[in-house]
Structure 1
Amino acid sequence: MTQTEIRRSRSALSRVESRQALGFVSPALLGLAIFTAVPVVLSIVMSLYNWPAFGERSFNGFGNYVNLFTKNPDFWPALRNSAVFTILYVPANIAVSLGLALALSSRIKGRAAFRVLFFIPVVTPVVANALVWKMLLQPKGLINGVSVSVFGVELPNFLADPTWAMIMIVVMSVWQGMGYNMLIFSAALEQLPDSVMEAARIDGAKGWRMLARIKIPLISPSIFFAVIMTMISAMQVFAQPQLLTGGGPGNSTLPLVMFIYQQGFKFQDLGLAAAGAWILFVIIILITAVQFGAQKKLVHYEH
């Protein structure tokens, strides 16, 4: 067989394999197109229209966006609440998760059981978790009952106070999500090079010095990943305020995603809801881009 015939045979085989591969992935591509690509395009179109749930639709250009920024009284408070939740939640989640991972990386007995215990809230439905926390935080709930019976102190109604309500949502969310990042950090800590750790010990590094100058720089790629994913989830928070406070008292715990939900399904203004969703998308993209821009200075990649 000549070289030309060999090349033709390989080319024919490559085409056959390409068609077979396309056949295998076509169901996934079809699902991606139907349930992701089409809704994304439709949401862009909807954001440019007056699009009531029932009734006539009319082209509105960027009117929905202008309406949100200049006329809607709840948009800016919702955006502020999402920002406050993110600012409070992301550092707390990372700090608690990293602290647990460092504690469980030591030679303590039953650390595998502790990891499972801390990860249980992650896989438990958020609705169940929120309802349990709501019962605990009620004026006649367990937390206030223990405080009165043991210390004689009557606690405030956490979910009815504008300041405490947001803090309780952050606390519940940290409890719900800390197990995921804990496992990421635990895996990163277990992969630290023994040679580097031994050299650091020989040089006298220990305690906080070992943590700040050796361990954290070496696991900084994992921290960077956790920060980005946690920030994205924080900007999309919905279930916790919806179930704990309903966005109240007033609109003090109304996040942007809940605002979008209300515009679309309560007030039946799908065009305004779609515009709000795209504003949230742009905000998340910009924050993520800034984080990626800063990674060269903050993240240590071992080559």
Structure 2
Amino acid sequence: MKTFIRTSIVLAAGVAALACSKTETSPPPATEGTIRVKAEFPDYSGPGHALKGETEVTDMQACIFEDGVMTHIFKGLEPGNGTYDLQVGRLAGTLYLLANTDGLVDLEGLKGEGITEDKWLGTAIGGKDGGPVHFFTGSVALGDRPLADIPVSLKRGIARFDLKIKTAGEASVSRIALRNAAGTAYLFPGQQTLSPADAPREDIEASFGTPVTGDRDAVMYAYEQANQGIEIHVDAVIDGRPVSLKENLEGDIERNKIYTVTVRKDKIDVSLEVSFEDWEEGSDTELVPQSEEI
């Protein structure tokens, strides 16, 4: 079972990341009945790296489930030295933290409906403006933890696609597209399937007014998803000849991973790079020309 949360607002772009001060001061100790949560956003590892804005947080909300029932919700959390103070009656249950989901996930409505924890873990989030939302989620079992800072590692819910151009002559790329991509994703990993069975399938495209002639990171993003006929399309000019390259993408798309599309003369290689958390080396997929003319 899953619950689908439809996008209802447009998040502002370019909102500053969590504020940092040049003078670091220790926050006051947590008071009785308060837990202090420290949100952690692990950087990319391996050859990948986080770009400016990829760990920006525009909003933070949280909820607690006890014995399978949502008992607490926290909205509009404001950080203090990178931590969040939550008023709770006791240290019990599981705390779920969600970043950049304000207006996309209605915790008050879900609590009012009496959503179970099993159904909560199958909740899906939609996109906005024809693309995925850059959201993060994480959880931690509270148990008998002390009132010290409780670290919660937040995991990115999307995958990134980088572009590399490796040709002996001149080459430029005017458009790259991911065909038949899922338009919704689960908030949390670990479901039986990588994407909801009824997820709408759509095209994600990136067009460049000035054709790209060199490597470029983050040309597009996509939700984690099961591969149901996903294709990579690239329109390019190689040595003065327009080409349209296409190939089926091998394997599923997993959250937190960087996929590199490498354009070579008359073909594209799609390779999976190791980055962020829990990455594994992926296999390469060779893409061949669809036609000589765009």
TM-score (norm 2): 0.23
- TM-score, L = length of structure 1: 0.22
Structure 1 or 2: more helix by fraction: 1
Which gives a bigger RCO, structure 1 or 2 (Cα 8 Å, sep 6+)?
1
The structure that has the greater radius of gyration is 1
